A and B are shown apart, each in its own frame.
Chain A
Amino acid sequence: MIKGYAGRVLEVDLGSRTFFFAPLDEEIARLYIGGKGYGTRLLYDRTPAGIDPLGPENLLIFATGPLNGSVAPQSNRFAVICKSPLTGGIGNATCGGSFALGMKKAGIDILIVKSRADRRVRLEIDGDRDVVEFLDADDLWGKGTYATQKLLSRKYQHAVIGPAGENLVLFAGIVSNERIAGRTGVGAVMGSKLLKAVSVRGSRKLDMEDPEKFKAYTKEVRKLFEDHPVLGESMKRFGTGGIVNTTNGRNILPTRNFQKGHFDQAMDISGEFLEDHELKGVKTSCIHCPVTCGRDVEVEGVGVVKGPEYETLALLGSNLEIGDIKKVSEWNYHADDLGMDTISLGATLSFAMELVERGMLDAKLHFGEQAGVTELIQDIGHRRGLGAELADGTKRLAAKYGGSEFAMHVKGLELSAYDPRGSFAQGVEYATTNRGGCHVQGASMYMESVGPLTINPQNLKLKADIPIMQQNIACAINSMVLCIFTTYGMIPKQIHEMNPSSFTYRALAFAFENMPGALLRGAMNFKGKPMLWFEKWLTYITGTTFSSGHLQEIGARIFNLERIYNLREGLTGADDTLPPRILYESTFPGMDSGHPLHLLLPRYYKKRGWSADGVPLRRTLEKLQVRV
């Protein structure tokens, strides 16, 4: 068995209440690492085309990778993979918390949950005794994610759903501790199986190829993170909300359902404001992570709970024109407790507000007004009244009421909080990412509009290259499974400390922006020695050499397999688009139109090795060893 893996796949059939352990497929692990990559391969191979995402044929796959179970910073994450009920294509989400560690300690790399229980059930998995218990979950059904986890044994690590998952809200997530696998409706798939919670425990240790080197190097990386301006300073002090004032200054903070990129009250919902006024108790982190990007806040009548992060501050704050951080924190708590993705929730609410504003929907729901929103969030989670319609997300709401030109989604997944009209590479990433309009499948915006060394985000230079490079590395990272925030550490402290108007900074930015795309991708694709921390960790743990080039190749393999899955399920190149508002309405003075996707998409397809209509060419798949 390759080092770094527990070597076992646990398969649970909820319908027959049976289970068995199978050996991990080493060939899949070699080609796809683990996590999202391994899970996507299984989903493609084990499910026929055209299944109902909420039917018993769908698989719900919990997947770890070789970094999980180690003490590497940012490595306590697991991936969930299934067919998405929101998009009809590939569904996946990753989550921090403690469940990944629990799985590895139980000696399980991959957990496959199949079919549907005949009554409400929860699973308790003891990896030391190789036992899976199917327990009645009637007493937990209807309870929030906080209450559910409190009632479960503290000897186990848990992944649970709340009422939103039970009620098949199409953007329901799966929660571990206070973190959530939020996107694409993975919680609804768990709810469709009548599965309330999965609990795991065990006492196994990770077997590494070179534990001494790993330990010594991890100590160095911790020091590097501590000294890093993002990972050791701004994330630690302000959380991800430290970016609100930056996106606002760059005119890309979604405001009023993306009608604007600038919110006058942005500062009042920023991470800095949170630190000054609302932070309570300790800043929180996933296990073994020194970054502590989580915040604790006090919600009236509830107590101290996890505070909102950037996406929530933007989608439930500026995008609804709400500048009251207490209210956003309260709504964030309700969404977490119900087990819902705050990005899709906020975007669906803002879409409904605009429908009301235009007289296309009759409801007491208005931009800038808090009244009724708390109740509506509860109604969405429980599928009551108007909430039942909003529970299906923006795309389906537009199909019923109209307004597709301002329905802010890609492939059915609501856009996250970086307006691509001021971040062209991010727009290409949104349009082409297989799970839909999401930012953490590449985070191109960091390279062009918000990071420490940014290029002009509103021309065509490198805007088809950066997304490819970023999507590939994100696929690899989500397969290790590591936190995408680790990539923020790739730009060294010295660059963060440069004055942007200095000659050196401008020369560097000029050189970066004018670098031929082929050179950039060639440098990233070079298979040399491990340089970055995650390359070295993988190498020390597994004993196989991983460099940037290796990870780009594996990432491209995963990305293409996801693409093939989507094509099999009926998505086409026509789905690689952006909302009409983004394409045709300008938010920048002097710009006649929106995002120039029509100019960039053909370039992107060509560089990916795809046909003009977005289908991976046979030679591309063969080169990447993607078996279809």
Chain B
Amino acid sequence: MSVEVQLTYAMAKELGAQRLEIEGAKTVADVLRLTRARFAETPTRYDELTRVTAVAVNGVLVNYKRGAKTPVRDGDTVAFVKAAAGG
């Protein structure tokens, strides 16, 4: 059971990886906890970098699902998403 975590650019710079593979998560809450654990030396940095980010599972924000209780399945992509404007 593995999900892919797509990080924001700032998070990726901090960890030196664009994506993480997280094993054993059953819900979004698990994914967030296990992602935070990767910031072992700087957990407060994780808090800072995710303060205004939303979380999407396969592109759909968990706000429209069950929030942190949203279940995740093998092969899902969980993304940290910042609000942004383009052109």
Contact = CB atoms under 8 A, between A and B. Distances in A.
Contacts of B83: 246, 450-452, 454, 496
A169 B61 CA distance: 41
B68 A234 contact: no
Interface in B46-68: 51-56, 58-61, 63-64, 67-68
A405 to B, nearest CB: 23
A250 interface: yes
B82 A245 contact: yes
Interface residues of B, number: 31
B8 A245 contact: yes
B81 interface: yes
A588 interface: yes
Interface string B6-28: 10111011000010000000000
B74 to A, nearest CB: 12
A243 B52 contact: no
B25 to A, nearest CB: 17
B32 to A, nearest CB: 10
B40 interface: no
17 contacts: A230-B85, A242-B84, A244-B86, A245-B81, A249-B6, A249-B56, A250-B61, A272-B9, A310-B87, A451-B85, A458-B64, A497-B52, A499-B52, A500-B52, A500-B54, A587-B59, A589-B58
Given A246-B81, A272-B9, A500-B54, A262 B59 contact: yes
A362 B59 CA distance: 35
Contact of B84 (A234, A309, A456, A497): A234
Contacts of B56: 249-251
B79 interface: yes
A91 B54 CA distance: 38
B86 A454 contact: no
A240 B87 contact: yes
B81 A242 contact: no
Interface string A477-516: 0000000110010000000111111000010010000000
Contacts of A506: 63
Contacts of A261: 59
Contacts of B67: 501
Given A250-B56, A499-B52, A588-B60, A262 B85 contact: no
A20 B28 CA distance: 68
A276 B81 CA distance: 20
By DSSP majority rule, is chain A's interface helix, strand, loop, or mixed? helix
B84 to A, nearest CB: 4
A246 B82 contact: yes
Given A251-B59, A500-B54, A440 B9 contact: no
A81 to B, nearest CB: 21
Interface of B: 6, 8-10, 12-13, 18, 51-56, 58-61, 63-64, 67-68, 77, 79-87
Contacts of A588: 58-60
Given A496-B52, A501-B68, A458 B60 contact: yes
A12 B85 CA distance: 39
A500 B87 contact: no
A309 B87 contact: yes
A501 B63 contact: yes
B53 A500 contact: yes
A450 B85 contact: yes
Contacts of B9: 245, 267, 270, 272-273
Contacts of A454: 61, 83
A310 B86 contact: yes
A243 B68 contact: no
Given A230-B85, A262-B77, A500 B63 contact: yes
For A230, A241, A251, A252, the residue with the greatest tally of chain B CB atoms inside 10 Å of its CB is A251
Given A230-B85, A276-B13, A451-B83, 8 more contacts: A250-B56, A251-B56, A251-B59, A440-B87, A450-B86, A456-B63, A458-B64, A496-B83
A261 B81 CA distance: 14
A235 interface: yes
A485 B87 contact: yes
A452 B81 CA distance: 11
List 10 A-B pairs, minimum CB-CB distance, nearest first.
A251-B59, A243-B86, A249-B79, A272-B9, A240-B87, A310-B86, A249-B81, A500-B54, A452-B83, A243-B84
Contacts of B10: 272
A289 to B, nearest CB: 13
A27 B81 CA distance: 47
Interface string A250-271: 1110000000011000010010
A235 B80 CA distance: 20
A300 B58 CA distance: 38
Contact of B58 (A248, A251, A270, A496): A251
A247 B60 CA distance: 11
Contacts of B77: 262
A95 to B, nearest CB: 13
Interface in A11-69: none
Contact of A446 (B79, B81, B85): B85
A422 interface: yes
Contacts of B12: 267
Interface string A440-458: 1000001000111010101
A267 B17 CA distance: 11
A497 B83 CA distance: 10
Interface in A296-333: 309-311
A246 B64 contact: no
Contacts of A230: 84-85
